[in-house]
Structures are given as C-alpha cells and as structure tokens.
Structure 1
Amino acid sequence: MLVFGSRNPLFFEFSSIGKKQIRINRVKPSLGVEFSKCRFSFLQKATEFSVFTEKLATISLINCYHNQSEQTPTDSKAVDKKITRKAGKKQHHLWIKRDSAGSGQKALNLVRIVSGLPNEKEAVYGALDKWTAWETEFPLIAAAKALRILRKRSQWIRVIQVSKWMLSKGQGATMGTYDMLLLAFDVDQRVDEAESLWNMILHTHTRSISKQLFARMISLYDHHNIPDKIIEVFADMEELGVKPDEDTIRKVARAFQKLGQADKKKLVLKKYLSKWKYIHYNGERVRVRRCLWGE
C-alpha cells in the first residue's frame, strides 16, 4: 500500500492473521538518498502516525464488513421464519369431512314422511328405504335427530318403527337407541318385546351396559308390577358390578317387600343407602341422618 504525506512515498505490506486481525509491515523505500538525523526523525514520526491511523481505519473497515456478513444470514433466517409461519397457517385436510349441516332438514323430512304413513310395517319400512336410496352412506345423524323429535312429540309407535328399522340395517346399535326403544316399549305397553330386546342386549353387550339402561329396565318392570323380573335385573346388575342409584334401590326394596322378603329389603337398603342424606333448608344444603333404614 502506498501512503502519501511527505516528499518520498512510503510502502506498507498487509498480511491477514485471522478474521479480524491484520499484520502491517512497513517497508523502507530504497531511494539512495541520505537524510539528516532531524529530517529522518521527523519522517519516522510522520510515518508511525500515518501507519497508526491507517491501521485503525483498516481494522474498522474489516469489523464493519464482518458485522454485515454476520447479520445478513440472521436477517435471511428471520425472513424465512416469517414466511414459513405465514405458510403454516394454511390447513390441509386429507380426509373428507362429513357434512352434518343439512342433517336437521333431513330429520324433519323423515319425521314428516313417517307421520303421514299408516301403521303398517311394510309401508313404513318402504318409505324409510326410499329416504336413504340416494345416500352414499347411512344418514345416522339425521336419523338420531328424527328419533329425538319423535320422542318430544310423544309419537312412540313411530319411535319403535324407526328404531327397529335402523337396527335391521345394522345402524344405531348404541345405548342411547336402546334406552329410547325400551322407553317406547314401556309407554306402549309392549313388555314382551322389551324383555326380548333386553335379553339380546344382556348377551351381546354384557360388560358395557350402563347404569341408565339397568335403571330403565327396572323402571319398566316396576311400572307394570312385575317384582320378580326386577329382582332378576338387579341380580345381573350386582353380578356385573354396576352400582345402582337411590331411586333404583327403592324400587328393588319395594319388589322384595311385595315378594315377602323383608329381610332382603333391609339388607339392600343397608348396603346401598347411606346413613346420611342431604336436604335443602333455608336455601342451604344440609346433611341429615336418615330416620329409618326401611323407609
């Protein structure tokens, strides 16, 4: 490198040691001219000063270059992160989602169809088959909504017909459908059909029968005054380890009382009814002791 600042130019050599370090070597010019001691000292000081300033300027330039080179990848990474985050908000579904938006209208259409039919199995089943003729898959959601609508309207015969049709198609074999069908049998005085359905449930879904379904069957036998059947259902309930609720226990206790088995009544009440009960008194929930086990 050539540096001006005096009559004679000065030459310097730069050699890199590391990323941010530079070694500066001064090269004396060979001009063949003899200087005086005073002039030589002046030139030496000027040379050292120029070398020092040049060294500072060079180091600052190199530091600036390295800072820019280090900041550029981070900026690009930040831009990449922003781009990937924006792209990640898009959701891609690899499955076909069921459209249940029109299930309510389908359910109302089903209720309207079956409500205007005569009470004949062939006519009802034929209309229900036409209702599903153009469906790619069975409209289970719409059928379940239709059953709830029919239950609210107390059209128990239609509940039985639609439920049986669903089960004949292999659809809707759930505890909710069984519970609704048993309730319809109870209201429509079809104890024999309820019993046959219960036996099928008991042998098919032995370990998965809910407490609600046991309570529904005990209530059916209690409404029709069949105490021995209540004891049979309660025995299956105990064998499967299903704990009855308080209302079911009282029905079982009444069944034992009707059969003349007062001792078993007391045992059942003592086993399943706690000595304490909760009542509401002056707007508060109060715990009180039961008066008598046989109440």
Structure 2
Amino acid sequence: MIKKVGKREHHLWKRRDSAGSGQKALHLVRIVSGLPNEKEAVYGALDKWTAWETEFPLIAAAKALRILRKRNQWKRVIQVAKWMLSKGQGATMGTYDTLLLAFDMDQRVDEAESLWNMILHVHTRSISKRLLSRMISLYDHHNIHKIMEVFADMEELGVKPDQDTVRRVAHAFQKLGQEEKQMLVLKRYQSKWKYVHFKGERVRVRADVYKEDNA
C-alpha cells in the first residue's frame, strides 16, 4: 500500500510579516504625529522605528499611511510615503495615489507633477485609471488647462473614464469655452443611466430624462 502524505502548507512569511502590524502602525502614527514638521526629525524617527526589524515592516507602514490619510494629516502622509520610497519600499499604485492626493490637499502641485512625470516615464502603458483620475481631480482644483493633457493620455491608453472624471473634463472644456468638445466628451463617455433615491428606494433612470424633469 502506498500512503499518500497530505501537503502541509506553511505561511511563515505572511504570519511573520503581518503579526502585530496594526499595533506597529498605530505606534508609527503616534511617533510622527508628535514630531515637529522637519524632514530630518521625521526621517530620523522613522529610521529608529525600523532599526530592530530584520525586514522592512511594509504592511505596518502601509497601514500607518491609511490611518494618516483618514485623519487628513497630509503633511505626515507625504513624509512617511516619501521615506518609504527613499528606502525602495512601497512603490505601488496605491502609494502613488495616496501621495498625489496628499500633494493635492497640501497645495503642493509642483511636487505632484514631478511624481506624475516619473510615473509616466517608468510605467508608461500600465498606469491605472485610478491614478489618471487622481491627476485630473488635482488639476480640476489647481489648473484646469492641464486636465486636457491627462485626458489625452487617458484616451491614448484606452482607459475609459469614470463618471466623476467625465464630469470634470466636460466642465473644464466648458470653462475654456470649448462647448463642442464638452458635448463630444459627454456624448462619448457619459452614462445613459444614473441612480436616484425615490421614496426611500434606489431607482435607475435615464440621465437625460432625469435632468430634464429636474431642470
């Protein structure tokens, strides 16, 4: 008789890397929240936070970024994200998205553009809809003329914009006095349907009909 031995799966990496990551993240948030707004002080504290780690605590750092983002601590988000990237860690679309949002909220458009140019250069044809939409949102707040550049990249990459992005692009064309392009964008990308709440229920209606009835 041949006795089959069942597979024994080990998840040592997952357990070791995620163990206590929530507490580590909170500890990191407490550390940076109590520091002066100086790069040297923040980076020094972050280096101490990892001094005794055998491997970079990426999960804990990512959780700390999410906590800081929820608390709208944009300067700290920028500092922690930049520090992670300087260590060669966390270079993901999620980190870039959070960093671009923080730059937007902290009025640091030049730095956002520098990061965006790097993303375009390095990732070229693998840029996510999320990041493209983030840059259009940023330029909607700070420089509507540049919305067209990002939207052109979006179309070239074959990325279909979400409805919020369609609204921003159409509004930008309208403000720039280019109504024909505004209508073209709406005709090409605006959803024919939208959801509204009617008598306590979520109902799908044609967007153009609902607009006419509520004008």
TM surpasses 0.5: yes
Specify which of 19, 40, 43 is matched with residue 122 of structure 1.
Answer: 40
What displacement does 1:227 show? 1.5
1:259 alignment partner in structure 2: 176
Change (3 A) 1:130 1:290: same
Question: Does residue 135 of the first structure (1) align with residue 66 of the second (2)?
Answer: no
1:193 alignment partner in structure 2: 111
Structure with more helix by fraction: 2
Instruction: State the distance in 1 between where 2:21 and 2:6 align.
Output: 30
> Which one is further off, 164-173 or 256-265?
256-265
Specify which of 1, 5, 13 is matched with residue 97 of structure 1.
Answer: 13
TM-score by length of 2: 0.89
Change (3 A) 1:289 1:117: closer
What displacement does 1:281 show? 3.5
Instruction: State the distance in 2 between where 1:284 and 1:152 align.
Output: 28
**One-letter amino acid matched to 2:112:** A
1:234 alignment partner in structure 2: 151
**For 1:162-173, what aligned pairs fall within 5 Å after superposition?**
162-173=80-91
Change (3 A) 1:135 1:289: closer
**One-letter amino acid matched to 2:182:** K
Task: For residues 127-147 of structure 1, give each alpha carbon's deviation from its aligned partner in whole angstroms, at most 9, with x where no partner exists.
Answer: 111111111111100100111
Task: For residues 223-268 of structure 1, give each alpha carbon's deviation from its aligned partner in whole angstroms, at most 9, with x where no partner exists.
Answer: 22x1211111100111111100111111101111111111111111
What displacement does 1:105 show? 1.4
Larger Rg: 1
Give the conservation status (yes or no) of the 8 Å contact 2:68–2:76.
yes
Task: For residues 175-224 of structure 1, give each alpha carbon's deviation from its aligned partner in whole angstroms, at most 9, with x where no partner exists.
Answer: 11011111111111111111111111111111221111111111111122
Give the conservation status (yes or no) of the 8 Å contact 2:136–2:150.
yes
Structure 2: state its 5+ residue gaps.
Answer: none
Question: Does residue 182 of the first structure (1) align with residue 100 of the second (2)?
Answer: yes
What displacement does 1:101 show? 1.8
Instruction: State the distance in 2 between where 1:277 and 1:188 align.
Output: 33
Instruction: State the distance in 2 between where 1:187 and 1:289 align.
Output: 31
Give the conservation status (yes or no) of the 8 Å contact 1:163–1:177.
yes
Give the conservation status (yes or no) of the 8 Å contact 2:170–2:186.
yes
**For 1:17-32, what aligned pairs fall within 5 Å after superposition?**
none
Give the conservation status (yes or no) of the 8 Å contact 1:279–1:288.
no
What displacement does 1:92 show? 5.8
Specify which structure has the bigger relative contact order, considering alpha-carbon pairs within 8 angstroms and separated by 6 or more residues.
2
Corresponding pairs, count:
209
What displacement does 1:277 show? 3.9
1:50 alignment partner in structure 2: none
Instruction: State the distance in 2 between where 1:200 and 1:90 align.
Output: 45
**One-letter amino acid matched to 1:210:** S
Instruction: State the distance in 1 between where 2:78 and 2:94 align.
Output: 13
Structure 1: state its 5+ residue gaps.
Answer: 1-76
The alignment yields a C-alpha RMSD, in angstroms, of 2.2
Instruction: State the distance in 1 between where 2:112 and 2:207 align.
Output: 39
Instruction: State the distance in 2 between where 1:90 and 1:175 align.
Output: 35
Give the conservation status (yes or no) of the 8 Å contact 1:150–1:159.
yes
Give the conservation status (yes or no) of the 8 Å contact 1:156–1:184.
yes
What displacement does 1:97 show? 2.5
2:62 alignment partner in structure 1: 144
